[in-house]
Structure 1
Amino acid sequence: MVKIEGRNPVIEALRGERSIDKIMVANGAKEGSIKKIIAMAKDKGVVIQYVDRKKLDEISESHSHQGVIAMGSDYKYYELDEILNIAKEKGEDPFIIILDEITDPHNLGSIMRTADAVGAHGIIVPKRRSASITPVVAKASAGAVEYVPLCKVTNVVNAIKKLKQEGIWIAAADMQGENYYKKDLTGPIGIVIGSEGFGISRLVKENCDFTVKIPMVGKVTSLNASVASSILLYEVFKQRIEGKGV
């Protein structure tokens, strides 16, 4: 069982297919979304346990439980073929995010939240040297972990090669690239985002089809990984809806 901490993550877990064993609610917490959580839990027959807030503080991993922690089944990790099938079943060009050693759980959670907002079909991360789904990631994602498939791969380069074999163009976010808004990002696309401290590794970059950059004029030479991701993912989203005449 895993902890699901915070109001939005618990609400989305109850809405989704996750099996919830019980929900612990801080004594006296009855306002707003807590009422909604209690009502949803009762409708689904989930046990509600009222506990002292200090108890929640002790077991919380995110340190931001907002008065509620649920105990649920483990998060499901997806295979690469499953992510491709999701796009196929929706009749959409694949839109996939590849994270090259993003280790900060807040960044991963934030990227998952944006991925859900723009309709990305899944995220690929390496099995080693990468953040995994934790209560911190779930909290930072505002519950998007329930909807965005995450795939762990042994080798990112091999995953990129497979995506290219499936007709997916791979764009690397790199300061040596062309301005992102000048590139055609429609059609089957994979966006590669590098790690917080080191960017995209040489081998990964060499296997990408092209590079794009976010132009900057300030004195700081880089953006937070989740911020950079948001800018690029929304450009893909923008070009897609413009292509549909929306």
Structure 2
Amino acid sequence: MNTLIYSQNAIIKLINQNPDIIIILYILKVNKKTIYIAQQAKKLKINIIYIKNISNKNSSYLKKYNSIICKIKTSEKKDYNLEELIKNKKINKILILDRIQDPYNFSACIRTAEAFSFDTIITNDKNTIKQSSLINKISNGANLFTTIICEKNILNKISLLKKYNFKIIGLSSKSKTILKDELIPPLAIIVGSEKNGINKELMKECTDTYKIQMKNSCKNINVSVITGIILSKIIN
């Protein structure tokens, strides 16, 4: 299975960290950054094609909005062992996305999580948007550097996290506690779907719940924005 990466920064990161999965680079515009990428790719003998003549409408669109495209090999969905990750990688910050179905919100949450050093995300296997080239593009390739665990029953993972003394933090507009102070790991942050919020069963398992204080006439904030606010409150 192959997928496309459009972010120049993500491509540079792939070349530095995981070049073996790169199949080919398509360079549509020559600039300082694509020249640098091509130089690094040549050192690793990665195939490069320079596209000069654009004929069809799709290619014209690609050239207008992208300087480089990277085709990579992607494996089938991996089965991660969360307990082993906690023990071996010593992860202590986890983001749980409950039924996030909008690809733009899902991707923004992944990108935000990677920016705040959350290297593990847990999602619903059935009711969450699946990963794709669109997710790669919107998340700016952040999903390639994040462990994403698709779980049929998130409640099982919550029990495991509690076993390892993780605090389970839920974000809900119905909470009576306003988020003010910084949060200290180990913890798992749960954010819910755009329409229905966090599943009631998951909410019952939260050790603490918070809401974001909003002023003026704004009563609703996008789930990806909410995610960015709470992740910024966590002490590294």
TM-score computed with the length of structure 2 as normaliser = 0.86
Distance verdict in 2 for CA 1:9–1:206, change over 3 Å: same
Opposite residue 8 of structure 2, the aligned amino acid is R
For 2:21 and 2:230, locate their aligned partners in 1 and report how far apart those are by CA, in whole Å.
34
RMSD across aligned positions (CA):
2.7
What's the counterpart of residue 17 of structure 2?
A: 16
Counterpart secondary structure, 1:180: coil
Deviations 1:31-73 (A, max 9, x none): 1211122112112211111225747963799998513211111
TM-score computed with the length of structure 1 as normaliser = 0.83
The answer as to whether partners of 2:94 and 2:121 remain within 8 angstroms in 1 is: yes
Note the 1:168-207 alignment, pairs <5 A.
Answer: 168-177=166-175, 178-182=177-181, 185-207=183-205
Q: Which runs of 5+ in 2 are unaligned?
A: none
What's the counterpart of residue 51 of structure 2?
A: 51
For 2:56 and 2:123, locate their aligned partners in 1 and report how far apart those are by CA, in whole Å.
31
Opposite residue 2 of structure 1, the aligned amino acid is T
Note the 1:56-71 alignment, pairs <5 A.
Answer: 58=58, 66-71=66-71
What's the counterpart of residue 30 of structure 1?
A: 30
The answer as to whether partners of 1:56 and 1:68 remain within 8 angstroms in 2 is: no
Moved over 3 A (4+): 52-57, 59-65, 75-80, 84-92
**Larger deviation, residues 224-233 vs 164-173:** 164-173
What's the counterpart of residue 156 of structure 1?
A: 154
- 1:230 shift after superposition: 0.6
**Larger deviation, residues 48-57 vs 98-107:** 48-57
The answer as to whether partners of 2:26 and 2:49 remain within 8 angstroms in 1 is: yes
Identity of aligned residues (%): 24
The answer as to whether partners of 2:54 and 2:60 remain within 8 angstroms in 1 is: no
For 1:143 and 1:56, locate their aligned partners in 2 and report how far apart those are by CA, in whole Å.
26
- 1:208 shift after superposition: 1.6
Q: Work out which of the residue numbers 125, 128, 145 in structure 1 matches 2:126.
A: 128
Instruction: Count the aligned residue pairs.
Output: 233
Q: Which runs of 5+ in 1 are unaligned?
A: 242-246
Distance verdict in 2 for CA 1:76–1:229, change over 3 Å: farther
Opposite residue 192 of structure 1, the aligned amino acid is I
Distance verdict in 2 for CA 1:129–1:62, change over 3 Å: farther
